Amino acid sequence: MSNTLSRRTILQALGLGAGFVATGTTLAACGGNGSTSSANRNVGQNIDEIIKLAKEEGEVRLIAYPETWANYKGHFQKFEEKYGVKIKVDSPDASSAEELEAVKNLRGQETQPDILDIGYSFTTPAINQKLIEPYKPSNWDAIPEDLKDKDGMWVGAYYGVLTFGVNKKNVDVPTTFQDLKDPQYKGKIALPGDPRQGASSIATVFAAALANGGSLDDIQPGIDFFAELADMGHLVPILDPAPGMTTGEASVIFDWNYNWIGVQDQLVKDGVDFEMHVPEDGVFGNYYAQPCTIDSPHPNAARLWIDWLTSDQGSEQYALGGAVPARFTELSQAGKLSDKALSTLPDPKVVEKVKVPNSAQGDKGNSVIATQWAQKVKY
């Protein structure tokens, strides 16, 4: 992972902070599965046509898909093996804001990304800026309602659970947010980034709110909690979780469970006595969305990629990387996820407790963070 700009880092200069809230209407429909395609593109109208045309296109262009994130390396290998469609990844560590900028700047060019992987708070700006177009994959009905846009503008093929990543050489493993007030954690706690700028950091504040009397509708207690930790001298800034832990900048760092799984072997090689733990008093999860970009150069391969991500096989690959697939409940009950995949995921009892905000709650929380964070949390 990059030590400077990671997926969690969003450039304020782009004018698309996590608190950005836009209003407006959705796009006119474009693409397959019942919607009308652009006149100059041949877009399949069912999965068989999409597969055939995707193979003719020969490639799909992705942006912000690191191999260690949610086991995308495994996805790439299996997808190419199954369909013979090559995957090209540009700027694997790009932020969600940079993804939207790439669509705007590269639109109409062969290098325009076909598919995004954006934090939930960027779905509304993507729609209102007319950067994405709808597609409902072949297993649309199996995807839970809270993990897809009703008009098909995006699906959230996976989600993660917010965890403490801990270097046990330096501190005890905390089990709750309240544990973090212990003096042993002074100067040793870090968010994965600025919550005004990245989805995993926003998730950290939501989780802290849940642990301190707040709710998905009231994120203020989370901000107040981190203001208290900052005043106690417990918080330190880092650029990226894995390097931050390896170098000893921090010993307790918040991040998605699947991100830690993607780097934990390397952390151990680098001498970190690593363990991750879901905070018992603030169980929070959220998704990343995978929309087709508007007028993309490989529209059928883009649609096939979404079908893959939400398929049984794609769900298995997500689970192997610790990311909870959107269809987890259905597939686990049907015995369609391997024992190895299930063992990599958070405990099912934890998954059952996960709280995920809807779009309105997410936008409200982002807005509060945008106005309150800098004023209250100083470190």
- Intervals of the chain under pLDDT 50: 1-39
Inter-residue contact 175 to 279 (CB < 8 Å) = yes
CATH architecture designation of domain 160-285+359-376: 3-Layer(aba) Sandwich (3.40)
- State the Rg of the chain over Cα: 20
Contacts of residue 153, Cβ cutoff 8 Å, sequence gap at least 6: 26, 27, 123, 126, 127, 132, 133, 134, 291
> 141: burial class by Cβ within 10 Å (0-12, 13-18, 19+)?
exposed
Full DSSP string of 227-272: HHHHHTT-B---S-HHHHHHTTS-SEEEEEHHHHHHHHHHHHHTT-
pLDDT of residue 60: 98
Fold of the domain built from segment(s) 12-157+290-310: D-Maltodextrin-Binding Protein; domain 2 (3.40.190)
CA pseudo-torsion sign 291, 297, 301, 303: positive
Q: Which of 182, 282, 175 is nearest to 233 (CA)?
A: 182
Inter-residue contact 114 to 298 (CB < 8 Å) = yes
- Token readout for 238 is 């880092």
For residue 125, which amino acid is it? P
From residue 271, alpha-carbon distances to 84, 167, 274 in Å are 40, 9, 9
pLDDT of residue 19: 30
CA distance 80 to 304: 11
Between strands 285-289 and 158-167, the pairing is antiparallel
CA torsion 317-83-63-288 (nearest 10°) is -40
Between strands 158-167 and 324-325, the pairing is antiparallel
pLDDT of residue 155: 98
Domain ranges of the chain: 12-157+290-310, 160-285+359-376
**Residue written as token pair 């504040």:** 205
- Token readout for 49 is 């046509």
- Token readout for 300 is 């059928």
CA distance 54 to 20: 35
Residue count of the chain: 379
CA distance 306 to 292: 8
pLDDT of residue 343: 94
pLDDT of residue 40: 61
For the chain, report the end-to-end CA distance as a whole number of angstroms. Answer: 25
How much is the pTM? 0.83
Q: Which DSSP letter does residue 140 get?
A: G
Domain 12-157+290-310 identical in fold to domain 160-285+359-376: yes
CA distance 159 to 289: 9
CA distance 288 to 286: 7
Q: What is the helix (H) or strand (E) element at residue 280, kind and residue range?
A: none
Model confidence pLDDT, tens digit, residues 348-360: 889 889 988 988 8
